[in-house]
Structure 1
Amino acid sequence: MGMQQKKNWKTKLHEIIYEADTPAGKLFDIVLLIAIIASILLVMLESVKSIDAKYHDLLNISEWLITILFTIEYIARIITVKRPYRYIFSFYGIVDLLSTIPKYISIIFGGVHALATLRALRLLRVFRILKLVRYLGASNNLVRALKASRAKILVFLFAVVIAAVISGTIMYLVEGEENGFTNIPKSVYWCIVTLTTVGFGDIAPQTPLGQFIASLIMVLGYGIIAVPTGIVSAEYTAQNKTKQKPKKTELHLNTQSCPNCSAEKHKDNAKFCYKCGHKLHDV
């Protein structure tokens, strides 16, 4: 009887933490989202010296409350799965750990000599923004589109690097050291800045030929910006079309998470995990 109660308790907690199909699960996700956004705002506010000096105690207490909440969440996620190491060493597990430990580490280090280290450790809290990724369902399509187009993008970037090296070398020969193009690496740097339409203005061609070449590079820059956008957009559209035409026999996917292997995207009314075969619901 005790084992059954323990099992039911863990199952219920797992449903609340890992799933969003129940009212309790939705409430948990909303509270966690608010805490994540609040923690990011706290990090930003602490970096403003005037605000930190005036409200330091309030900011510190608020940060401790959020850190404790994240600690409870992290521990709960570990104890509600049968294979904790899979969660601990997963992307979300590492992000959750980075979101929790900086405040505790700051207690260990003391003294004036550790202030520089503490400042860097406190900045680790900004990784909490990555916790938002698990709540952005549409981001999965974007990730798949980026993966599908990575080969094309890499070839494109390689071509851009070649163009920058060639153009930078030409500008070095045309303009020379007297006009600021003191060496080829610096000339390549100028070319990359110009291609990306950033234009810092720290180096500028002075000769008519150099200005003509620079004009061509600037116009080329607009085309270069459009290419990777078009590649990813085409793949993203293809992903959406694939999802919009499901098979008639395919059921909708939900937020059910396997308590054994943490796999998600199971079909509605599924009783067993499609990945490991573990039972999903008590029947």
Structure 2
Amino acid sequence: MQKKYFFFDIDGTLSVGQTMVMPESAVRCLEQLRANGHFTALATGRLQASAARFAAQHSFTDFVADGGYSLTLGGKIVEMKSLPAADCIALIDRLETAGIPWAVTPVNERICVTTDKRYLDAAPPEYFPTRYDPAFDYRTLQVLYKVNIACTAEQECNIDFGSLPTVRYNRDILLVEPTEKQNGIRRMVERLGIPNEDVVIFGDGTNDVCMFGQGWFSIAMGNARDALKRMADYVTDPVDQDGLWNACRHFGWI
């Protein structure tokens, strides 16, 4: 059997929605892929520390996280860079002027910090814990991994993000985070000497579009965005309907 190198998005691909809970068939699929000698890795927009938590639960030692800005190999961080801090600080200045609540992740830990109590009401309970600190000085930050903005899609249209990339987390929260997962995968492929023709990508969301059309075999989940399905080499069933298992069985990888 030809060895394949799999890169999986987490939310909506391995796990049901943003629950971080994998269907039993997906767990079995990963076990069988590894037993058959295949390489399995994550490719996620989540913070490295958040991805590491999920990775440890499901026996991943290699992953692209931070939307392509970090690489973890053999359980150790080998690359990790910040968003452009000066651009993020300028954005937060504009949010402050507009009276729009925000929070930031300034360290590689599952935490957000805000100086605006109003953000606490909008903070998703399943996301990072949020700490309110009125003395926090965001203008001194030199490293910054995420900016969370409490705004609707309508409000978003009136915000000047400059060149910063954004991903909508839910109806009320917009994330400023890297959207270059394809670049992280390419750097890992180069580090490990992986042939492009043996790379397989699984995804479902808009932040997975960047991974498709890169010369790798791409599979969209049945619950994926339509735009991603149109780009995919193959569309499987939804994540909660054995999509992972069915695709891997279809191609004889398990």
TM-score normalised by structure 1 residue count: 0.25
Structure with greater helix share of residues: 1
**Which structure exhibits the higher relative contact order, with contacts defined as CA atoms closer than 8 Å and separated by 6 or more residues?**
2
Instruction: Choose 1 or 2 for highest CA Rg.
Output: 1
Structure with greater strand share of residues: 2
